Structure formats: structure tokens, C-alpha cells
Structure 1
Amino acid sequence: VGMNPNGGYDMARRKVIQYDPFVDTVDEAGGHGTHVAGTVAGHRSVDGKTESDGTEDGVARAARIAFVDCGKYCGEGCGSLSIPPTDHLMSTGRAGGARLHSASWGSSFVRSGAPYRYDTQARNMDSWIFSNWDTLFIVAAGNDGRSGMRSVGSPAIAKNGLTVGAGYTSETAYDENFVVDFSSEGPSPDGRILPHAVGPGVSIVSSQAIPSTVGECEPEAPDALITMSGTSMATPAVSGGAALVRQYFQDGYYPTGARNTSSAASIDISGTLVKAVILNSGQQMTAKIRFGQVDSEFYDHIQGFGRVSLADTLRIKDHNDIVARVVDKVTVNDQDSVIYKVTVNDTMCTGKELRATLVWADPPGASGCVSCAVNDLDLTLTNDMDTSGQTYYPNGESSKDYINNAERIIVPASAMVDGHVWTARVRAANLDRSSQQFSLIMSGCFLFDGYEGDIGFAAPPGAAPPGLRVGSALAAAALSAAYLLLF
């Protein structure tokens, strides 16, 4: 790409705006880092400047990358991993606008024999994200799934990241509703739902590294592409989706699904909202292929919140008719509640579930903690017209969730009645400080065109919803990446 690998920024670059040579400046032939970078943001350019269409594209082909090199290549079959301190790692790309960090690496408890515990690496990541929750850390679960449960690596066991498992695609032996056998399984050491989500990770075609060669583009160069499998491959696919979520809000597609080019329509969303949108989109998967077929369901140790499908949660004009309402950067005080109401409307769409997903960046737990949750928020959904008083709870439970800082409720479409009002309540049940900020998305068939209190602050419970207000955005110019050798 012609980038000077000195760790500095060059915002004029088409694709790689920063290369931090923490270990070295090379990738091996057919290298892991080049492949995953192509998946997240690849787009053909023979000279590194002028773009043209090829046979394959990355998920977010117009995104740019800030890259920290953490893998040392010392010949075929020889390599080592050297991870920078967390602040160094996560600061890569930040000054260039990067707010997504895609990490196809990690430490394996299974292969190292180390105790399966919330370790210092996970704690440090949670601490950094708690202080910088505008950023989302997206990380590979690991490839130790053949060992069964409790095989997720670190820092994928952290609370505040988005941990990705690997599934098949419609072009492989099984379809996209099956998890591949090697995909590491949860739960976390303290029982949290892991992996969070599943992306395509089998037979993924992407860029091939050919060191010391330029212009090696498909379809002219037969070696331009290579096929790989792993949670390393699933992670950049989900990261590319996360970049598209950010673009959706920055480019004014929210809430109508049609682009609004006014600067007033641009919203700079937090990493916790990106995570909430992705988890809200999750679709039920069928099973894991391991010594036959192992059945799986939502919130289990195999699929978590399910297969990512953004078209099932964000409205796109002329493509779908689902309605979404988001709440971001809102504060709730300890022991207080914030409520959000939507009214079912059959003229918008019909036959869809009502979903609500809550995410917050939790303070770090203590290394080795048995119960690692610190701040406890509770999400519930109720039908204001239901005289039975039924309350819907998150994550498939019949009561509150004490341990996860990502909570999702799905109310079946059969319970949706035109004109009925549904209330989402976020309650700060037990905080270690005076308040906690959170993000929330609701999706379904309801009438909504934006409320002022949803972005940046919340109206008190019972207040009439004011008019539309969306904040100005600081555009993300890059994606940061730590694409290494292990997963």
C-alpha cells in the first residue's frame, strides 16, 4: 500500500492510514493479517491509489485501517505473538478517528493449560473500554471448540468486548444456521453468555499476502486471493458489519432508512450502541456440527445471541420495513429507572417480533473474580394494555439477569396487537457509583420518527416525548486492527 510503517498517521492514504510496527513490518506469504484486513475493508486497487471493481470485496470496502503489527514471522511454521500494553494496543488509530478494533488473536486456556479464569488481560481490556466506551472491541472467540464448553480464549472472556464465534455460510457444506465444530464455546469463567454472536468463518475468500510484490490484484493475479477458516475470519466480517452500523447513523439513515445528507442528521454513536445493534440483530441458529449435530438455542454456550443479520434490525428503504428506535449515551442514576414507550402500528409492518437490547460498559472486575459483574442494570418489557401484568425478562430467563452486561428481550410477533403500547424499562438495580450510562435499541412494527431524549440524555419517566433531535458526528476515519496469528 506504500505506507511508511513508522507508526505515524497519513490521512491521505486510501486504505491504511497507520502502520504501527510494534513487532516488525512484514507478513508471511499467505499471511493471516492480510487475509482478515481484506475481509473487513478490502477493495481492489492495482496501484494502491485508484480503486476499481474486482471479484471480491471486504464487508466495509470503503473503510480505512490503522494496523498494529503484533506477530513475528521467522519462517514457515515459525511465529510468535507479542501484544502491546492495552493502552498502546487500543490507542492505535484513535487519533485518526478509529472507534472499532478488530482482534483476530488471543491466548488459549485449552492449549496453555492455564486455569479458565477472568485474567489480567481481560480485566485490562474491560478497564480500557469502561473509560473509552465510544470504542467497540470485537474479538475472536478462539478455535478450541472441539474441546467443548469453557474454551473461549482471552481477552475474548472480557465483559465489554464483542466476542465472535464462527459459522458456516450458504456456500459451504452446511448453511449459515450451523456453527462450525472448532468455534470456541462459553460460558465465561463467571457464567456470562459467550460467544456473543456468530459470523461467517468457514472457507472465507480474502486477500493473500505476497511479500515484496505490488499490483497482485484479482482476477489477473491467480494468487491474489486465499481461502481460510477460523474465528479469525468471522471476526473481521462482524467488524465490517460494525463499520456499516456506524456509517448508517453517521450518514443520516436513522430512523427512516433513507439517507439524510443534512449535518443535523448525522449521529456519532457509541461502541456500546454498535454492540447493542449487532446483538439485537441475532438470528436463531440450529446446531453445532461436532461429532454429529449438537442442538443449539439462543443464549447458550454455542451461539450466544445468534447469527448477525443487520437487515433484521435496521430499516433500509426499499429493502425492509422493520422500525428501530435507539437510545445512546443516556445516564440512569442508582435505584432509578428510565422508560421508553413504543406503540404497535400495523401500517409500518406486520408479523415481526418486538425486540429490545440493552448494553453498557461495566467497570472491570477483579482478576480471578467468581462473580465479575459490577454495575447491575435490568431491562424489562411490558404491555401497557395487558391487565395480567406479564413482564418479559432478558436472555431467555423468567426473572432478572444478574451477571450479563448485554441483555436482550424478544416478544413473539403473535403478542403484537395494533395500537398496544409497550414499555421498555431500564432500572439501575445496584451500582458501585452514582450512575451508569447505557445504550438501547428496540425494533419491531411501531410508529417512530425520532425522539429528542434518545440521544445524549433521557427525559424523566412519565414526561411527554419531545421532538426529534440528533447530535453532530465526529466521523470515524479508520478501523484499528490487531490481526495476529493464533485464532
Structure 2
Amino acid sequence: MNRWFGLGLVLIATSLAQPVLNRTQVRARFQPEPYTDARYIRLAGGIIIDIRSATPPAEISSRYWLLHFTAPIYNHWLATLNNRGFVPVAYLAYQTLVVRAPASCTPDSIARLCQSLPIDWHGPFLPEYKLAPEFRKLGARVTRLTCACWKPARTETLDLSALDPDDRSRRLESLATRDEIFWIQARGKPVSFNRNVQWVLQSGWDSTIPDPAGSRRIWRWGIRGQNMLIGLFDSGINTEHDMFFDPYFPLTQPGIYPDHRKITAYKLYYNAAFGDAPGANYHGSAVAGTLAGEDSINGNESDLEGMAPDARIYFLDIGTASGQYIYSDDLTEMLDSVRLGLGIPEPVRQVSGSFGTMDYLSEYRLADASLDAVCWQDKKFLVIWAAGNGGGTRYKLGHPACAKNALTVGGCGNGTRANLIYSLSSAGPTRDNRLKPNLVAPAESIWTVYGGGINSYRVREGTSFAAPSVSGALTLLRQYLKEGWYPTGQPDPEHSICEPSSALMRALAITAADTNVGRETIPDIRTGWGRLNLSRVMHFPDDSLSLVFVDETLGLATGEYDEYEITINRREPLRVVLTWTDTAAMPNAEIAIVNDLNLELESPDHNRYRGNQLALNQS
């Protein structure tokens, strides 16, 4: 539907020569078919509108309307709507726009608009469309609400516990009639979701512990996160721990510290308290240590450094003195507090989160939608999130792990057990059957910082530690691209890629996944595409693997496609990955995909291989 979304196309081949990827023609067009179930508009509250039989109310005053189109939506239709004063604000599957009508809108003006465009049904955005599924089951028993509003109004959080059930019901009905509110859900309760990790993510799994000098191959090439900045938010950091302490710049209060060796910024989110807390089990310190801790400067040779030990952290503390997490279901402000990099010369391009809510599992909620909206606004901003510790066999993902644009990380074993799935790792998929998690990383037997001391370490477990491990690993990949190691395997400033898109980074991460995890057939709803192994995409002169990619920043419009010709020297395994940054869906939507792309390969003998038709990890 929309042109401006980032695309990452990655090709990896086992070949002594660099594969060649050439665009065969200028952007081409085709006629997309209407969706098979296009006659239905599906809402997350369980409401399904059948446009063949649904009759809009005769008399209703609404600024927001649903417009159902006869085909996938083209850009020039959007332009016509805007020119008529009807502003598209959201998309619902299938082929349906939510528009904000002009203040002077009448039923006649809506009818005339529908006659001028291929619109076969229209109706007001009714109050019942705004209610999350839990209200059908729990009704007035829901006491803490989050009300999402159209911009520029702000998300509201309400506590109705002081009202009796009848008054709560009346208040809920009143809220749903307010035009500026588009979604009401129960307020979720936030919860928190390295020695061996280092070699597992740099070299892949081995049945025996390898020699340290050879197994940390990315570090061996001098790539340790130097001059790189990573975002993080969590319960707090014990800034006096050896992993973070800078003897030249003691950090005892929030602020911007451009010369601090480890923490460039330490910010507080609203009522957060500086430092880590025992009530949070020193979660933030442990996560930060897994991400980028480094203690040798303080004389502590623990060998427990984080994945990017020479990188620095832009940190947002979201923990109270008692260890409670404080943030809104609308993550926009929290994400922007890190993304914008206030106080430093440049924005922060990557952040990870190891907390969330574990209710209404695997649904697409406000937290997921708001994360997608931020990533849509800034397509170079990569968000990495822990899948959660819900275990299970299906539909156990927390929030915002269900976001389309998040790289969602599940857990596997550590060290020689990294070929096994971590038993508590939340299983996907999402409720609309998108594959999540995207990949896995070690989540058990993680030696990391204990924030209750200044030089203490303890064993932790959970996907809370898989996510920062992946974030640190991808920081090394960013350094590799920034220093121009791609495509020759040697650093060259002429080849520097300073700001890869989020889509490209996710594509590279998926391409780098090893499939030897457990008994699952990849892709799998517990394993995703496999376990991250940087050596698959960070190539050096002694490697046999070769890599080529396209970071398309213009995107595609409805009915457009790009075509490339791939040349490789011999019949060897070929891995091709397509990712994109999608605009946010409404949390009201049952199906979250808005821009629906397909990947198809055609061989010289005219066999076709499709990205969504896989068996035994092959198409």
C-alpha cells in the first residue's frame, strides 16, 4: 500500500568467488489480485464485518470512517482522499482504510467520495470496534485501562478500581464514544523477562568447548565494539561495578557523560530512581553486563565480558527504588527517549529490551503497534526484544515481542548445549500466524554482573539475556559494516556503511542463523530461523562463504516489484532473505500485516522457489 518502507535483501552463498547480484530492469509493475477473504474486515475484538450484508447505522456522527476498497490500495487513491480532506490514519485487513473526515463531513459527502473511488462499502468507526477482546470475557472486572488516542492526543492510563462494576461499565462505554480514542485495552503488568555466549554467537555451536583464542573469531579480528553506541533500557545499572566503573569519570547521578568509558548517557524515565535495585534482582545490571560489560580496566580479569565489550551504552532507567518497572503500554515516548540520542551529536540506531507484559499472549497490542510506528518513522532504528519466558508450545509471546519490526529473540542452551532449545523460551507464532521469535541465542547458564556488589558475578537465565547478547553481537556487525570490511573482508573506508537500515540488519541476523537447534524443523515457532552465528555474515579473507546484499531505501508501491539476477559459480547452498519495515497496524486489527511482500526465485531450469513455501528449511 505504501511506498516508503525499508527493504533488506540478503544473499549468502557457499562460494570461493563473490556472488553477483544485478537488477535486471527498472522498477516493474503487475496487477495484484484482491485478497481471497477481502469481503471481510477483521477486528481484534472478535468482530468480523461482512461487507456484503453489513448495513451502517442510518444516523451517526463520527469523524472516523471505514472505507473498504475493491482491490489492494494504490498511492493515487490515497492522494485523492487527502485532496478531498479525508486523511488516512490506519489500515485494517483486508483492503480497508480508517480515515479522518473533515469537520464539515455529511452522509452525502461520504457517498460522493465513495462514488469517485473504487470503494464498495463504508461505515463509521463504531465504539464497539475500539474494545480489546478481554472486555468480552471480563467486562467490568477490568479495572486498569490504557486508552490509545489519535495523534496529537496522548495515550491515557486510567484506574477504575474505586468504581463499582456498573459505574465502570458506564465509564467504559463513555470512553469508547470519544472520537480521539481508537483503542482501549487492559493495562498490562510489566515483568522482566557470558563466557560461553561469546564463542557461541561468534563461531557457532560445538559439542566441546573450543579454544578461547580461536573461537572468538570476531574479536580476534579486532572487532569488539570500538566507537559504537548501543541503547538499553532496564531497571537500572550499578555504575560502580567493575564492568561499568570509570575511575576518571565516576558516575553517581543521571546525566550525559560523553567521556565516560562505558555509559555515555544515564537517563531517568519519569519516576525512576538512579541505580539498580534488589527488588528488581539487579536485572538491569545483569542485562547491561551481558550487552557490553568490560572489567579488565579495573583489574578484574573475569573473562565474562559482554558481547560488545568496547562499546558504550546509552541507558534509560525505567525502574523505581523498589524495583518496579514504570512505562506506558504506548512505548513511543520510551523508545524516543533513547532513539533521539538527546545530549549527544547523533541518534542511537539500536536498542534492546528484556522486559514486557505477559498477558493476552501473542496478540498484537498497543505496545507492539507503537513500537512498529516508531520503527516506521525511523527506518534505521533497530529494536531487539526478548520473546519472554512463557515456554509452552504455541501462542506464548509477550509484548512488544509481537511487533512486526522488532527482532524478537528466543532462547537456546549455552555453550555445548546451544543446540538445544531453552525450555522456558516463549513459543510463537503470533495470533495472526506471523513467525516469531525470529531467532534464538543462549538464555541459560549466563554468567554476568551481580549488581549487589562491585566485582561480583552470578549465573542468570531467561530470554532477558538472549536479547542483549544478540544486540551486542549485531553491534559488532554494525562496526564491521561501518569500518568497510564488506565486501572484501578487509577494512576499507571507501566501503563504509555507517547507517544500515533496520530491515537490512534484521535480514543479516536471519541470514546468520544456524539451523542445528533441537529437533525442530526450521523455521519453527520456538526457534525462528535458528541460532545467531555472526561468522555466517561477517566474512574475512580466509572464509569460503560469500555475501551480497541490497539495502533498498525507496521501497515499493502497490503493484510494483523488483527483479534481480544472481550469478554464482557452482551448485552450492544458497540462502536468500527478504525483510522489510512495515507501517504499524491498529491494535484493533486481527491481521497485523499492512504491506504484504513476497520473495520468489526462478532457477535457470525455470523451477520457482518461494520464501513462504518451505520444507526441511528449503524451498
Same fold, TM-score > 0.5, yes or no: yes
Equivalent position SS for 2:562: strand
Offset from partner CA, 1:317-339 (integer Å, 9 cap, x none): 22x22111111133233322212
Distance 1:5 1:353, change over 3 A: farther
What is the CA-CA distance between 1:71 and the residue it aligns to? 2.2
Superposed, 1:418-429 pairs within 5 Å as: none
Over the aligned positions, Cα root-mean-square deviation in angstroms equals 2.3
Identify the residue that residue 261 of structure 2 maps to in structure 1.
Answer: 14
Residue type matched to 1:61 in 2?
A: P
Equivalent position SS for 2:370: helix
Could you tell me whether the CA contact under 8 Å between 1:166 and 1:200 is conserved in 2?
Answer: yes
Q: Is it true that 1:168 corresponds to 2:413 in the alignment?
A: yes
Could you tell me whether the CA contact under 8 Å between 2:361 and 2:395 is conserved in 1?
Answer: no
Could you tell me whether the CA contact under 8 Å between 2:358 and 2:388 is conserved in 1?
Answer: yes
Residue type matched to 1:56 in 2?
A: L
* 1: CA distance, partners of 2:441 / 2:349: 20
* 2: CA distance, partners of 1:345 / 1:116: 43
**What TM-score do the two structures reach when normalised by structure 1?**
0.69
Offset from partner CA, 1:146-204 (integer Å, 9 cap, x none): x3310100000111101110000234xxx212111100000002110011100011101
Q: Is it true that 1:333 corresponds to 2:561 in the alignment?
A: no
What is the CA-CA distance between 1:263 and the residue it aligns to? 5.0
- Residue 26 of structure 1 is aligned with which of 275, 281, 285? 275
Superposed, 1:80-91 pairs within 5 Å as: 80-83=324-327, 86-91=331-336
Identify the residue that residue 463 of structure 1 maps to in structure 2.
Answer: none
* 2: CA distance, partners of 1:339 / 1:250: 28
Identify the residue that residue 567 of structure 2 maps to in structure 1.
Answer: 343
Equivalent position SS for 1:378: coil
Q: Is it true that 1:209 corresponds to 2:454 in the alignment?
A: no
Superposed, 1:278-293 pairs within 5 Å as: 278-287=509-518
Q: Number of paired residues?
A: 360
* 1: CA distance, partners of 2:539 / 2:572: 13
* 2: CA distance, partners of 1:344 / 1:304: 27
- Residue 482 of structure 2 is aligned with which of 241, 250, 262? 250
- Residue 315 of structure 2 is aligned with which of 43, 67, 76? 67
What is the CA-CA distance between 1:375 and the residue it aligns to? 0.5
- Deviates further, 64-73 or 194-203: 64-73
Equivalent position SS for 1:72: coil
Identify the residue that residue 394 of structure 1 maps to in structure 2.
Answer: 611
Equivalent position SS for 1:376: coil
* 2: CA distance, partners of 1:157 / 1:363: 14
Bigger share in helix: 2
Could you tell me whether the CA contact under 8 Å between 1:314 and 1:323 is conserved in 2?
Answer: no
Could you tell me whether the CA contact under 8 Å between 1:4 and 1:19 is conserved in 2?
Answer: no
* 1: CA distance, partners of 2:494 / 2:313: 25
What is the CA-CA distance between 1:105 and the residue it aligns to? 0.5
Residue type matched to 2:470 in 1?
A: V
Equivalent position SS for 1:71: coil
* 1: CA distance, partners of 2:253 / 2:612: 45
Identify the residue that residue 520 of structure 2 maps to in structure 1.
Answer: 296
What is the CA-CA distance between 1:89 and the residue it aligns to? 1.6
* 1: CA distance, partners of 2:307 / 2:612: 29
Q: Is it true that 1:196 corresponds to 2:441 in the alignment?
A: no
Identify the residue that residue 92 of structure 1 maps to in structure 2.
Answer: 337
Distance 1:130 1:247, change over 3 A: same
Distance 1:11 1:52, change over 3 A: farther
* 1: CA distance, partners of 2:425 / 2:409: 9
Identify the residue that residue 460 of structure 2 maps to in structure 1.
Answer: 228
- Deviates further, 52-61 or 131-140: 52-61
Percent pairwise identity? 29
Could you tell me whether the CA contact under 8 Å between 1:144 and 1:184 is conserved in 2?
Answer: yes
What is the CA-CA distance between 1:33 and the residue it aligns to? 0.7
* 2: CA distance, partners of 1:337 / 1:198: 31
Q: Is it true that 1:105 corresponds to 2:355 in the alignment?
A: yes
* 1: CA distance, partners of 2:385 / 2:496: 31
Q: Is it true that 1:277 corresponds to 2:517 in the alignment?
A: no
Could you tell me whether the CA contact under 8 Å between 1:185 and 1:195 is conserved in 2?
Answer: yes
Identify the residue that residue 475 of structure 1 maps to in structure 2.
Answer: none
* 2: CA distance, partners of 1:310 / 1:321: 14
Distance 1:179 1:5, change over 3 A: same
Where does structure 2 lack aligned partners over 5 or more consecutive residues? 1-244
Could you tell me whether the CA contact under 8 Å between 2:361 and 2:396 is conserved in 1?
Answer: no
What is the CA-CA distance between 1:382 and the residue it aligns to? 1.7
* 2: CA distance, partners of 1:131 / 1:161: 14
Identify the residue that residue 118 of structure 1 maps to in structure 2.
Answer: 364
Q: Is it true that 1:35 corresponds to 2:286 in the alignment?
A: yes
Offset from partner CA, 1:21-45 (integer Å, 9 cap, x none): 2211121356111111111111115
Identify the residue that residue 418 of structure 1 maps to in structure 2.
Answer: none
- Residue 305 of structure 2 is aligned with which of 57, 62, 66? 57
What is the CA-CA distance between 1:275 and the residue it aligns to? 0.8
What is the CA-CA distance between 1:73 and the residue it aligns to? 4.2
Equivalent position SS for 1:341: strand
Equivalent position SS for 1:88: helix
Could you tell me whether the CA contact under 8 Å between 2:361 and 2:397 is conserved in 1?
Answer: no
Residue type matched to 2:273 in 1?
A: D
* 2: CA distance, partners of 1:285 / 1:127: 34
* 2: CA distance, partners of 1:83 / 1:296: 36
Q: Which has the higher contact order (CA 8 A, sep 6+)?
A: 2
Identify the residue that residue 598 of structure 2 maps to in structure 1.
Answer: 378
* 2: CA distance, partners of 1:92 / 1:317: 40
What is the CA-CA distance between 1:116 and the residue it aligns to? 4.9
Equivalent position SS for 1:370: coil
Equivalent position SS for 2:261: coil
